[in-house]
Amino acid sequence: MSTDRAPTDRVVQAVHGRGDTPADPSYVRDLVTELRRLYGAAALIELYGRFSSGDGFVDAMMRKVIWQCVARACGCGLQVGSGAGFKHPETFEIGNGVFIGAQAYIQGRYDGTCVIGDNVWIGPQAYFDARDLVIEDFVGWGPGAKVLGSYHTGVPVDVPIISTDLKIKPVRVGAWADIGTNATVLPGVTIGKGALVGAGAVVVSDVESFAVVAGVPAKFLRWRTESPARQNPEQ
């Protein structure tokens, strides 16, 4: 193995979200229609278990088809990695061209809302407490990054915290935002359009559009250069 060449940075073209998302093949759409006709939600989720962990074409296609069957709405071009899971998918609204990485998990709630916009890219092992969650279009979500959308009130103090009421707070992630690897977004936080959250950050308060934040807790570092938000903050 040669070690002569010095390491250098390089820039390559992104793949995800470039160009229009092609429509799913007709046989995929037909299969969605047929499975919906034949199976109820519980049976479809049980069926998902048969295909949840495989890496082959059929397993990947069946994961996609079953997500399309059980979600409240789901666009074309969905890709779901092996081991990706969900709870209460009937509350999900998923756009076109969405990628969900291997072992990611989206935990909805029976009376909740989980909206994932067009061309969102979700890395492996991401976790979403998706009881009241909106992720807008073209968001990048790093591997292992998490949303916490709720917490226990912890009162009264004479009972275990796990037994106290659950406070659900909405989390909103604006279009074009990018969330770094292993970052955590806490309940009630809004991430502005085009904001950048650094790897491992813990975001405890709102982030303005086109801001760059990092650290624990996350702090403002700078504005992204050539920021339209700074030229016209009302957009």
Q: Which residues are catalytic?
A: 152
In single-letter form, the type of residue at position 210 comes to: F
Grouping H, G, I as helix, E, B as strand and the rest as coil, residue 193 is coil
Cis peptide before 124 (omega within 30 of 0): no
The 8-class DSSP code of residue 68 comes to H
What is the Cα–Cα distance from 197 to 145, expressed in whole angstroms? 10
Query: Which of 111, 113, 108, 110 lies closest to 127, judged by CA?
Result: 108
Give SS3 for 72: coil
Helix, strand or coil, per DSSP, at residue 69: helix
Distance CA 165, CA 161 (A): 9
What element of type H or E holds 32?
helix 26-38
Place of tokens 């990048």: 140
CA 3 to chain CA centroid, nearest Å: 39
The order of strands in the sheet holding 113-116 is 73-74, 92-94, 113-116, 132-135, 171-173, 190-191
The region, left, alpha or beta by phi > 0 then psi within -120 to 50, assigned to residue 11 is beta
